[in-house]
Amino acid sequence: MPITVRYLNDDTQECSIRPTPLVSIASQINKTPNGDFIGVTYNITLTGTLLDDQGFPLARDTNGAVFDYHSGAAMGTLKGPYDSFDTSISHADYGRPDQQKVPWNYKLDAIFFKQKALRELFGRDGQRVEISPVHNDEPAIICYPRVMDISFSEGTYFQRADYSITLQADTLLDKDLKIDQDGNPFASDLFAGVSVETGDVFDASGAFIETFSESWSLESDDGGGETTSDGDVIPRTYRISHSMNATGKPHYAPNSLGDVVKHEAWEQARAFVQKRLIQPDNGVLSYPNVPGLLGSGTMNLIASYQGFNHVRTEEVGATDGSYTVTENWVLASGTSHETYSMSISSDTSNPFVSVTIDGSIKGLSQCAPSGEEYGGNAPTLPGTTAYDNALSKYQAITQSGKFGLTSDVYNRANNTVAVELNSQPTTISLGTNEYTGDVTYNLQFNNRPTNVISGVLSENININDTYPGDVFAMIPVIGRETGPILQYIGGRTEYKRDLSIELIMDYTDIGYEGNRSSLMLHKPSLVEPTKTQIRNLIKEISPEKEPGIRKYFIAAPTESWIPKEGRYNFSVSWTYELDK
């Protein structure tokens, strides 16, 4: 059972060790503490003896000259470290090398040289090692091991020296470079048994690892609250963390061209971990969904909560062969966080009570870490970015900016005071940040009466009544220190009423073109329902409705319209007479 080492992986330097050492192969099954199978390691031990005048490597003297054969035969083709292996002698059919003529006083030199040659032969990892039967030159087992240990037992080294070489391999191959499936992970459902010759085994598996660990953690986050669609406040959300770590092993194998390639340990660990990561579907990672691991019987969050703001952090240990991926999510029942504060103010100079709301909405992203939102290539679906969700939340709590009695922000403000607030805010300030997914708002409500004219941002109705006064003459007198002479001439002045209406329309009532239709026909007095509402308001305020009116006259009304500002003014005055 010869042992052949392809020195420097050069197929012209097939070095057979003679006498053939004893071979021991132990399969070490690698499992996690939980019992998960993560691979197999083959520990190969070669236990042999170096003879001073027989076998390979050949013995040389202190000057480097090879000792001749006893038979007088010429040396064949010498290869390997220090040209100490005769590759012309086959081990098939019991072929064995001739005995060398080593003088008794050179036997120690011969042993030391053979030790030196053996150390050089196993001086690097990933060289092809063959274990062959004696009936032919075809190998029964091929491997590309890592060299773990070379040791020589103590002795006088006069005629012999015992040695032990420990090798470590991840796969055992047959003569056709097919992987043995005996306990190897390639035989499992996860790792298909494929030929190393294609090189695909490394792209598909990454199974050559020493250790693997996976952990989950869940913690509450009091810094981010939620408001539900029913207006309920959830004061906290949760954070979930997931960590996967693997330590790989350097692996050597030939590629499709026959060249032996080293696959770095960290590359093996990376492929192993990434194989187990859940990948996004259409750019969105509907995750975490880990029933049985989190939330079961304790917090029961998984059914109603969803993961957002998925972030992956990877760490590569190039020297220790490790690879770690840490994933973090915000676990929430909605698609955004919202915080807000309210303040109430009133003073004697203002008849209204004011409530101010300062709010901040932090959108939660439903995109995977590889999504375009984070600079990746996976498509970002509409309505899944943090900004989309923040804006959607603002529209939901404000009725798409229309507010009204059913809007959440109005009800929050209205519930803090004893009076009934107007459902339309007096001031609106909105800030957005699309990059961070933030929407901030500042709203102020007060208990001013509801607008008479619908659909306006603000209205101001001013009524002035002028009542009758005395009719008198003012006669100037030159030099009179007490001023002019006032002479009552009988009678009274007229009754008079003035009405001024000022409206500010919203953007839907403003013309954005430069033609007549845009500039003139958007005027409130021409557009329903404001046209009828203005007319009814004028009719209600006119003296026509007053009791005891004998007659009244209308002065020429004035109307002004600033179409680009949506500002409308109407003024009219009446002069009337009572019947008594």
Which domain-ending residue is among 140, 169, 198?
169
pLDDT of residue 114: 95
Does residue 168 contact residue 144 with C-beta atoms inside 8 Å?
no
pLDDT of residue 300: 55
Instruction: Dump pLDDT digits (tens) for 536-554.
Output: 999 999 998 788 898 999 9
pLDDT of residue 284: 59
Q: How far apart are CA 50 and CA 162, in angstroms?
A: 6
Residue 201 CB burial class (10 angstroms; 0-12, 13-18, ≥19): buried
Q: In this model, does residue 193 exceed pLDDT 60?
A: no
Which of 253, 150, 265 lies closest to 208 in space, CA to CA? 265
Instruction: Dump pLDDT digits (tens) for 428-479.
Output: 999 999 988 999 999 999 998 888 888 888 889 999 999 999 999 999 999 9
Q: What SS3 class is residue 8?
A: helix
Q: What percent of the chain has pLDDT over 70?
A: 87
CB within 8 Å of 71: residues ≥ 6 apart: 98, 99
**Tokens 């975490």, residue located:** 288
DSSP bridge partners of 331 = 238, 307
The verdict on 441 and 471 lying in the same domain is no
Decide if 188 is inside a domain. Answer: no
- Indicate the range of 22-26, 344-348, 365-369, 562-566 predicted with least confidence: 365-369
Q: In this model, does residue 386 exceed pLDDT 70?
A: yes
Decide if 203 is inside a domain. Answer: no
Decide if 532 is inside a domain. Answer: yes
Q: What percent of the chain has pLDDT over 90?
A: 47
pLDDT of residue 293: 46
Decide if 186 is inside a domain. Answer: no
Q: How far apart are CA 100 and CA 64, in angstroms?
A: 15
The verdict on 19 and 152 lying in the same domain is yes
Query: Structural domain of residue 275, as residue ranges?
Result: 214-332
CA distances from residue 533 to 33, 454, 511, 529 in whole angstroms, order as listed: 79, 8, 21, 6
Decide if 337 is inside a domain. Answer: no
| Helix (H) or strand (E) segment spanning residue 393 | helix 386-397
**Residue 21 gets which letter from DSSP?**
P
Q: Domain of 536: which CATH number?
A: 2.40.30
Does residue 127 contact residue 143 with C-beta atoms inside 8 Å?
no
Decide if 207 is inside a domain. Answer: no
Which domain-ending residue is among 425, 448, 471?
448
Which of 90, 187, 73, 91 lies closest to 134 in space, CA to CA? 91
pLDDT of residue 158: 87
How many residues does this entry show for the chain? 580
- Indicate the range of 51-65, 277-291, 373-387, 401-415 predicted with least confidence: 277-291
The verdict on 138 and 18 lying in the same domain is yes
Q: How far apart are CA 43 and CA 47, in angstroms?
A: 13
Mean pLDDT over 309-319 rounds to 89
**pLDDT tier at 288 (50, 70, 90 boundaries)?**
low
Q: In this model, does residue 311 exceed pLDDT 90?
A: no
Q: How far apart are CA 303 and CA 384, in angstroms?
A: 20
Select, from the ranges 121-125, 178-182, 370-374, the one with the highest average predicted confidence (pLDDT).
121-125
C-alpha 89 chain-centroid distance: 63
pLDDT of residue 132: 87
The verdict on 27 and 144 lying in the same domain is yes
| Helix (H) or strand (E) segment spanning residue 187 | none
Instruction: Tell me which of 509 and 473 has the higher pLDDT.
Output: 473
The verdict on 27 and 47 lying in the same domain is yes
The verdict on 18 and 49 lying in the same domain is yes
pLDDT of residue 231: 59
The verdict on 49 and 21 lying in the same domain is yes
CB within 8 Å of 373: residues ≥ 6 apart: 365, 367, 380, 385, 386
- Indicate the range of 86-95, 100-109, 225-234, 323-332 predicted with least confidence: 225-234
The verdict on 444 and 461 lying in the same domain is no
Q: What SS3 class is residue 524?
A: helix
Long-range contacts of range 349-354, CB-CB < 8 Å, 24 or more positions apart?
352/446, 352/447, 352/448, 353/417, 353/419, 353/421, 353/446, 353/447, 354/426, 354/444, 354/445, 354/446
Mean pLDDT over 244-270 rounds to 86
The verdict on 24 and 124 lying in the same domain is yes
Decide if 175 is inside a domain. Answer: no
In sequence order, what E strands does 193-275 have?
Answer: 209-221, 226-227, 233-234, 237-248, 251-254, 260-263
Number of domains within the chain? 4
The verdict on 462 and 556 lying in the same domain is yes
Decide if 196 is inside a domain. Answer: no
- Indicate the range of 115-119, 251-255, 305-309, 575-579 predicted with least confidence: 305-309
DSSP bridge partners of 214 = 244
Mean pLDDT over 38-59 rounds to 92
> 74: which 2 tokens?
């010429």
The verdict on 411 and 518 lying in the same domain is no
pLDDT of residue 94: 60
The verdict on 421 and 305 lying in the same domain is no
